[in-house]
Amino acid sequence: MLVIVLENAPPRLRGRLAVWLLEIRAGVYVGNYSAKVRDNIWKQVEEGIEQGNAVIAWRTNNEAGFDFMTLGANRRIPVEMDGAKLVSFLPLDDGTVL
Amino acid sequence: MAGLLPPLKPITIKERLSILFIDKGQLDVLDGAFVVVDKNGVRTHIPVGGVACLMLEPGTRVSHAAVALAARVGTLLVWVGEAGVRLYSSGQPGGARADRLLYQARLALDDDLRLKVVRKMYAMRFGEEPPSRRSVEQLRGIEGARVRQTYQLLAKKYGVEWKARNYDTSEWDKGDIPNRCLSAATACLYGVTEAAVLAAGYAPAVGFIHTGKPLSFIYDVADVFKFETVVPVAFRIAAKNPHNAEQQVRLGCRDAFRETRLLERIIPTIEEMLAAGEITPPTPPEESVAPAIPNPESLGDAGHRS
């Protein structure tokens, strides 16, 4: 199982991902492929994301049962805590937490 | 101007969905994605690169861009009739591996080698070695009797009234329900088998048991899987006699393909059959000229163009 979420991505990248994955909501893509195909798909995102940002999550055999990685600027950034991968939510530039 | 996306490449057949049926709509490409647009303007995205073959039913129109995209991701387009009877098929420009084609042709041309392959096909199909010292013709006779018996047995098991296999495409509606279900089911099997044969780099027309048809080799390969996959589905549906039998058969076939892991097995099975000839695939002659521009690396199967 594999999920990709795009924000602010150019249409041609969104179309490209729809070649292999199902766009179940705007910018949310799901599919079920091997690691090799997943790498190939992620390469497309790396090349085409431009000013947008993206995250990919997939099922794997670790403690959490899944892993993920991100691309581009976003307030949510992955952090390592006690060997577990979590997400930190950064405050806005002006310091408000929200 | 931002950089272009990396080139589209096929992925292996075993990682794909087996078949998707599309009826009514214009197949086109929007923002680089394969879409079906219906008359109300509703767009449906098809993950074309993740499907082994697309079955296009009457009522579909295909744009040039859509066919080009399907070819680029190595997906077979199969035009089928309303009841799932194949009309015409085209699609991925696959099967383009000279070494495999020569290997297949050599096995088919030499009578001894062909007999070995045919024996292997029957052995895989019936789960036991066929009687020794029989010609291809004799084996075919034994097979025919056995197939008729298998149809009888399965028909009895699923409670279907069975006379004989009869597929007259010109008088489709005169065929009885079990026969129509079987034809719809085998069309599904032939579609995925053709996609796999092309992807593996072999020629659909060069058959061993079947000859003289554009899809002879497809029938050979599909026969190995027929009685474990599509025939039980067809009879099970036929026994219920629903009004939309053909559609139910297709859905049943897709489940059967997934349960039997057909897409993972089909290419290894082809290799195993041909390996029974006990010859090695030909090596290029010494004086041959290697390609000036080598092929880029691909995730696809051997016969996929990258």
From the CA of B222, how many Å to the nearest CA of chain A?
A: 26
Contacts of B227 (CB under 8 A, 6+ apart): B125, B150, B154
- B47 inside 8 A of chain A by CB: yes
Mean pLDDT of A7-31: 96
Q: Please report the sign of the dihedral spanned by the C-alpha atoms of residue B5, residue A40, residue B35, residue B306.
A: positive
Residue B302 is predicted with a pLDDT of 83
- Single-letter amino acid, residue B277: G
- Are the C-beta atoms of residues B201 and B303 closer than 8 Å to each other? yes
User: 3-state class of B30 per DSSP?
Assistant: strand
Contacts of B99 (CB under 8 A, 6+ apart): B201, B281, B282, B283, B284
pLDDT in tens, B52-66: 999 998 889 999 999
- Longest Cα separation, chain B: 70
For residue A40, which residues of chain B lie inside 8 Å, CB to CB? Answer: 9, 11, 299
Pseudo-torsion of CA B280, B282, B284, B286, nearest 10°? 70
Helix (H) or strand (E) holding B195: helix B177-200
Contact B6 A44 (CB under 8 A): yes
ipTM above 0.90, yes or no: no
Residue A18 is predicted with a pLDDT of 96
Helix (H) or strand (E) holding A23: strand A22-25
Q: What gap in Å lies between CA A18 and CA B34, rounded to an integer?
A: 7
From the CA of B10, how many Å to the nearest CA of chain A?
A: 10
Quickly state the pLDDT bin for A22 (edges 50, 70, 90): very high
Residues of chain B with pLDDT under 70: 1-3, 82-96, 168-174, 306
Contact B32 A20 (CB under 8 A): no
